[in-house]
């Protein structure tokens, strides 16, 4: 399943180029560093759908460091500088944290697909690829994320209303899975010096 998932991502018009770039930046290392990510090397069509988040070492909180304009447009708000626990709480926060933890435990990208619903026959699907960054090649404290959004039908109602604890998150049709790496590396430890809470609300696709 993991190899099939990898192939599907490589064919994705947004996630595929992002994964290929991340893999090139790995070089001979397990994980690239934040300093390896150079905006001038990334196609202008891809940049709006990238974001960088970081785990603040002193508190363990996740903060949005950089959010592309395409993501801001889809959210209806710029989350740059905000903490994840300022946006989400309860089960939604635990779900998001579980996906970040999966990245750190596997030392691999994780695909997250979230579906949202409303009282109208309008749906939104967010395809999100979380990719780890580590300055020392092991300890993951930052994440490069690529996103692709599907807005079937008239989705104007989603502007600024579909994220956070809005109550329209469809857990039954949302899932996440570790993307099987195409090269073998030796991974020692989790690379995360403080643990996240246990996984809750995330379905794992096995390698």
Tell whether the torsion through CA atoms of 184, 174, 94 and 204 is positive or negative. negative
pTM: 0.79
CATH at 46: 3.30.450.20
Number of domains making up the chain: 1
Q: What pLDDT score does 129 carry?
A: 97
In this structure, is residue 194 part of a structural domain?
A: no
In this structure, is residue 202 part of a structural domain?
A: no
CA separation (Å) from 73 to 54, 70, 79?
A: 21, 5, 11
In this structure, is residue 155 part of a structural domain?
A: yes
CA separation (Å) from 91 to 97, 165, 199?
A: 10, 9, 11
**Half-sphere exposure for 192 (CA within 13 Å, toward CB):** 25
In this structure, is residue 193 part of a structural domain?
A: no
Domain that residue 54 falls in: 2-178
Non-local (6+) Cβ contacts of 77 within 8 A are 160, 163
Q: What's the rounded mean pLDDT across residues 76-94?
A: 90
In this structure, is residue 192 part of a structural domain?
A: no
The larger pLDDT score, comparing residue 25 to residue 115, is at 25
In this structure, is residue 67 part of a structural domain?
A: yes
In this structure, is residue 24 part of a structural domain?
A: yes
Q: What's the rounded mean pLDDT across residues 60-76?
A: 90
Non-local (6+) Cβ contacts of 175 within 8 A are 112, 113, 202, 203, 205
């Amino acid at each position: 399943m993991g190899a099939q998932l990898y192939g599907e991502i490589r064919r994705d018009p947004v996630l595929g180029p992002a994964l290929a770039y991340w893999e090139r930046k790995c070089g001979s290392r397990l994980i690239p560093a934040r300093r390896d990510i150079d905006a001038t090397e990334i196609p202008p069509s891809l940049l709006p759908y990238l974001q960088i988040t970081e785990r603040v070492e002193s508190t363990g909180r996740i903060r949005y460091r950089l959010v592309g304009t395409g993501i801001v447009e889809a959210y209806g708000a710029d989350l740059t500088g905000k903490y994840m626990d300022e946006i989400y709480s309860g089960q939604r926060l635990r779900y998001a944290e579980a996906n970040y933890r999966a990245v750190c435990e596997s030392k691999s990208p994780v695909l997250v697909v979230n579906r949202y619903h409303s009282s109208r026959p309008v749906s939104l699907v967010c395809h999100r690829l979380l990719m780890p960054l580590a300055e020392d090649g092991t300890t993951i404290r930052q994440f490069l994320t690529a996103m692709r959004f599907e807005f079937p039908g008239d989705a104007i109602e989603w502007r600024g209303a579909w994220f956070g604890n809005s109550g329209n998150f469809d857990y039954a049709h949302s899932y996440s899975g570790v993307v099987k790496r195409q090269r073998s590396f030796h991974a020692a430890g989790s690379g995360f010096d403080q643990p996240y809470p246990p996984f809750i609300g995330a379905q794992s696709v096995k390698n």
